[in-house]
Amino acid sequence: MNLSKRFVILILIAMSPVMSTLADEAPWPGKKGSFHGFEQYDFKIGDLNCKMVVPNKGAAGKPWIIRARFFGHEPQTDVALLKAGFHVAFCDIAGLYGAPEAVARWDRFYVHLTEKKGFAKKVNLEGMSRGGLIVYNWAAKNPEKVNCIYGDAPVCDFKSWPKINPAILKAYKLTEEEARAYSKNPVDHLAPLAKHKVALIHVVGEADKIVPVTENSDVIEKRYRELGGEIKVIRKPGVGHHPHSLKDPKPIVDFILAHQK
């Protein structure tokens, strides 16, 4: 091998980390849009429909949060996290109610973003209403990969809402009898989260009749405290299922930032 070829090879080897970094920071594929002044990309990973909102200046370590369901609704927490340098991610699992197929889709999404895009190995999860099912079910399978969970009027037991119906039976591939005996709802598998010190924060309306607090967040709070887990519940007196979130999301954002690792 002549000197010129050796020189080229040495240059390519020396540049490979830089080239890898540039590849990770390359623009996202798919359709580019705007999310409250931030760049949003709608793209696919195989058959997965995904979204990514990019901060104007990313924080060290590439922190991120996965938003479950109702992307863009009551966005104040997401906007505040973007300003803090977080990426806001979304992977569509509509109609699956947190069933194993939904968990498998998020597994693929997580692997792609951590291994191909260099995102932090520990992610934060945001589950609004029925989004509570997927964030808790995915976290129960992957507790070592989660910093904290923000549940907003979250569904924590499909026997409470949407109750056992054909959609639930189809998503979970259960008979009605099997669904009534099902013991892998979020209220049932909190131990792995407590063991891995996953912090929880819920925002609930005390007058919620769609996702009753007594059948969902109250159960989570009681059982998680008994397991020694950390949980904070913000209760909105006289408020029903809507509106979600808080006008000023600072208490939610501060909680997430305090548990970012």
**Pick from 32, 50, 49: which is nearest to 41 by CA?**
32
Alpha helix segments (H runs only) across 112-190 = 131-141, 166-172, 176-180
What is the average pLDDT across 55-77? Answer: 95
Tally Cβ neighbours within 10 Å of residue 83: 15
Q: What is the mean pLDDT of the chain?
A: 91
Read off the pLDDT of residues 177-213 as tens digits, 9 standing for 90 and up: 999 999 999 999 999 999 999 999 999 999 999 999 9
Read off the pLDDT of residues 126-156 as tens digits, 9 standing for 90 and up: 999 999 999 999 999 999 999 999 999 999 9
What structural domains does the chain harbor? 28-258 (3.40.50.1820)
Whether the CB-CB separation of 139 and 193 falls below 8 Å is answered with yes
> Does residue 240 surpass a pLDDT of 50?
yes
Alpha helix segments (H runs only) across the chain = 3-24, 76-83, 100-111, 131-141, 166-172, 176-180, 191-195, 217-226, 250-258
User: Band of the pLDDT at 26, cuts 50, 70, 90?
Assistant: low
> Does residue 29 surpass a pLDDT of 90?
no
Of residues 25 and 28, more confidence is placed in: 28
> Does residue 22 surpass a pLDDT of 70?
no
Read off the pLDDT of residues 150-177 as tens digits, 9 standing for 90 and up: 999 999 999 999 999 999 999 999 999 9
pLDDT of 141: 98
User: Band of the pLDDT at 242, cuts 50, 70, 90?
Assistant: very high
**What is the rounded CA–CA span in Å between residue 111 and residue 117?**
9
What is the CA angle 35-41-44, rounded to 5? 140
